Chain A
């Protein structure tokens, strides 16, 4: 090994460069291979849901692949036999009220935490962060009792009213964003005699459209698919949301599965559309939540 003359040794870098290129090529191919493999595992269940909603009941049990003939009428039957539009209306109502409540309350609260200096601000914010870690199950039972005392059980109020009183995660997201807006803007407005509320309304809110969009999206996602909330607080058939309605029908003996899957696709579709239109805000919002200072 040590007999290689000096002149030969000089060629080694060139050889290893070629080797490097080759290794890089193999590595890239491997990465693509793995990514495509994982992508398939992530996408196939999704396709199965769509295909399943277009099969006959018997085919659903026998054929895990593409339907032999597409049963589009499953959708028509599902919408007429299942109180789809009633549940859709309920879900939409709860979702819209939640979004309004989330935007109104959390922007105000976050403004108080980010744009006004006061004693005890940091301590109070630590409390916000701690409540973010509180499992729902811990407060669920007393909340049920409380709403019963208020006479709210049997109405939408248990699922809508709390949205107007702040959500720790949204407060956190908005506060981070508000902290990044230059102080000079507020100070200039103050010199012109603007009140804090005016600054909030005329200066901060217009600059915060991207983060408010993120809050709207998260609030939508969370309320739209929420299951435990409606399960605990709604006890009247006519108030059911899509999630709860689907689960109730599912627990009946021998439900007609393709119809349920059709309702499932219909319930997922609005989320997909909003995702594709607003992709940027989804990804940014989620990425931001994990990267905090």
Chain B
């Protein structure tokens, strides 16, 4: 009994920085942002309570809110899907036993993740420059006329997707580690049964990789919802609002239009949306598990 109590006391001492941090930097801000979300607050005068007005205005009377939401959902459904397919494909190539120099290639794919976001943004402005950028020069070499990328409402989001794929070396490494953890005996058994490479990939590799995919998709969704710096630096939401992502609009409301209460309501809607997506994902992968 005494030992138990002593353990608890020790544990509380050890984790006390976390407890303080949780209360001051997480729980308090979370609750006060809930409170702000029911107020009209410009950060200078005191907040005035307005009930559900912010939420009503967001949901029924703000086109930019829906634009931001759909832009971000596009990045999740189209961008993250492409990113997932591309990174699993590259990781599978790297995992090939007959390849020499795997660690060399792994370094190359990881290098872009080391470039700080601001530099990454400057770099991509130039790479996708409509007239003289490398991508359009390359397309021009084959007689193709490249699009305006960041300056075209149709191509601005795909430009951000390209950028995201270029910087997804971390995902590649995580998938590669997952692939390396799959036991050889599974593949050998399948070979004896006469399975070909494609069957092996869909019947063994993908199911075994499921927890890793779930991890990358969840962190990917959070990253997409938080993604802010690139759009803020490169397009500031344009052209035509095609890159006004959720986080960017939230930031603009808070710190450019001083609508703190309104932005807080957006923050809470973001929290609820991301919780719902996580919940659905866990449910969905559980169901896959039972199907085998």
Q: Which of A124, A246, A257 contacts B119 (CB 8 A)?
A: A246
Distance between B258 CB and nearest chain A CB, rounded to angstroms: 11
A108/B178 in contact, CB under 8 A: no
Assess the B33–A138 pair: CB atoms within 8 A.
yes
A117 and B267 contacting across the interface, CB-CB below 8 Å: no
- Indicate if A15 sits at the interface (CB-CB under 8 A): no
Query: When the two chains form their complex, are residues A165 and B111 in contact, meaning their CB atoms are under 8 A apart?
Result: no
A145 CB contact (under 8 Å) in B12, B30, B32, B94: B32
A112 touches B176 (CB 8 A): no
Residue B66 at the A interface, CB < 8 A?
no
By beta carbon, the residue of chain A nearest B5 is: A118
A137-151: contact bitstring with B at CB < 8 Å (1 yes, 0 no)? 111111111100000
Q: Which chain B positions have C-beta within 8 A of A145?
A: 32, 43, 260
Segment among B49-57, B146-154, B199-207, B218-226 that sits at the interface with chain A: B218-226
Is A287 a contact partner of B114 (Cβ separation < 8 A)?
Answer: no
In the complex, A116 has a CB within 8 A of chain B: yes
Measured CA separation A112–B267 after assembly (Å)? 32
Considering only CB atoms, which chain A residue lies closest to B119 in the complex?
Answer: A264
Interface segment out of the listed B74-82, B132-140, B283-291: B132-140
Given A109-B15, A135-B225, A135-B270, A31:B181 Cβ within 8 A: no
Interface-facing stretch out of A3-11, A125-133, A207-215 = A125-133
A contact residues, total (Cβ < 8 Å)? 91
Count the B residues whose beta carbon is within 8 Å of the partner chain — how many?
A: 89
Taking the nearest CB of chain A, how far is it from the CB of B175, in angstroms? 8
A83 neighbours in B (Cβ, 8 Å): none
What residues of A have a CB within 8 angstroms of the CB of B114 in the complex? 221, 268, 271-272, 275
Contact (Cβ within 8 A) A48 B126: yes
A263 to B105, CA, bound (A): 27
Also in contact, A268 and B115, with CB within 8 A (given A140-B267, A141-B267, A291-B178)? yes
CA gap between A142 and B10 in the complex, in Å: 32
Q: Are B233 and A247 neighbours in the complex by a CB distance under 8 Å?
A: yes
Task: Judge whether B63 is part of the interface by a CB distance below 8 angstroms.
Answer: no
A261 within 8 Å of B (CB atoms):
yes
Looking at the assembled complex, report how far the CB atom of A154 sits from the nearest CB atom of chain B, in whole angstroms. 15
Q: Is A62 an interface residue (CB 8 A)?
A: yes
Point out the residues of chain A lying under 8 angstroms from B64, CB to CB. Answer: none
Q: How far is the CB of A182 from chain B (nearest CB, A)?
A: 19
B88 within 8 A of A: no
A131: chain B residues within 8 A (beta carbon):
22, 26
CA gap between A290 and B179 in the complex, in Å: 12
Cα A283 to Cα B91 with chains together (Å): 14
Q: Is the interface of B mostly helix, strand, loop or mixed?
A: helix
B18, A105: Cβ atoms under 8 Å?
A: yes
The chain B residue sitting closest to A290, CB to CB, is B174
Contact, CB under 8 Å: B21 / A165: yes
Question: Quick check: A138 and B267 within 8 Å, CB to CB?
Answer: yes
Q: B28 near A146 (CB under 8 angstroms)?
A: yes
A139 to B271, CA, bound (A): 10
- Chain A contacts of B70 at CB under 8 A? none
Q: Are A64 and B133 in contact (CB under 8 A)?
A: yes
User: Interface readout for A20-59 with B: 1 if CB under 8 Å, 0 if not?
Assistant: 0000100110011011001101111110110010000000
Most buried by B among A61, A108, A127, A139: A139
Query: Is A188 close to B, CB under 8 A?
Result: no
Give the chain B neighbours of A113 by CB distance below 8 A: 15
- Give Cα A128 to B22, complex, Å: 9
Check if A111 sits within 8 Å of B14, measured CB to CB.
Answer: yes
The answer on a CB contact under 8 Å between A283 and B106 is: yes
B160 sits at the interface (CB 8 A): no
- Across the interface, which residues of A come within 8 angstroms of B105, CB to CB? 35, 39
Q: Which residue of B lies closest to A164 (CB)?
A: B17
A48, A52, A287, A292 interface centre (most CB from chain B within 10 Å): A287
Q: Considering only CB atoms, which chain B residue lies closest to A246 in the complex? A: B118
Give residues of chain B (3-35) contacting chain A, Cβ–Cβ below 8 Å: 4, 7-8, 10-15, 17-18, 20-22, 24-26, 28-30, 32-33
The residue that A141 contacts in the complex, of B20, B33, B99, B169, with Cβ under 8 A, is B33
B229 interfacial contact with A, CB 8 Å: yes
CB-nearest residue of chain A to B94:
A35
- What residue in chain B is nearest A28 (Cβ atoms)? B98
Say yes or no: is B216 at the interface (Cβ < 8 Å to chain A).
Answer: yes
Residues of B within 8 A of A243 (CB): 116-118
Instruction: Tell whether, in the assembled complex, residue A232 and residue B7 are in contact, meaning their CB atoms are under 8 Å apart.
Output: no
Asked whether, in the complex, the Cβ of A139 is within 8 Å of the Cβ of B30, the reply is: yes
What CA separation (Å) do A119 and B3 show in the bound complex? 12
Structural contact, B170 and A166, CB atoms closer than 8 A:
no
Residues on A with beta carbons closer than 8 Å to the beta carbon of B15: 108-109, 112-113, 124, 166
What residues make up the interface of B, taking CB atoms closer than 8 Å to A? 4, 7-8, 10-15, 17-18, 20-22, 24-26, 28-30, 32-33, 36, 43, 90, 93-94, 96, 98-99, 105-112, 114-119, 122-124, 126-127, 132-134, 137, 166, 169-170, 173-178, 181, 197, 212, 215-216, 218, 222, 225-226, 228-229, 232-233, 247, 250-251, 254-255, 260, 263-264, 267-268, 270-271, 274, 278
Closest 3 CB pairs of A and B: A165-B21, A112-B14, A225-B116
A-B contact pairs, 7 of them (CB 8 A): A39-B105, A64-B137, A134-B271, A227-B116, A267-B119, A271-B114, A279-B107
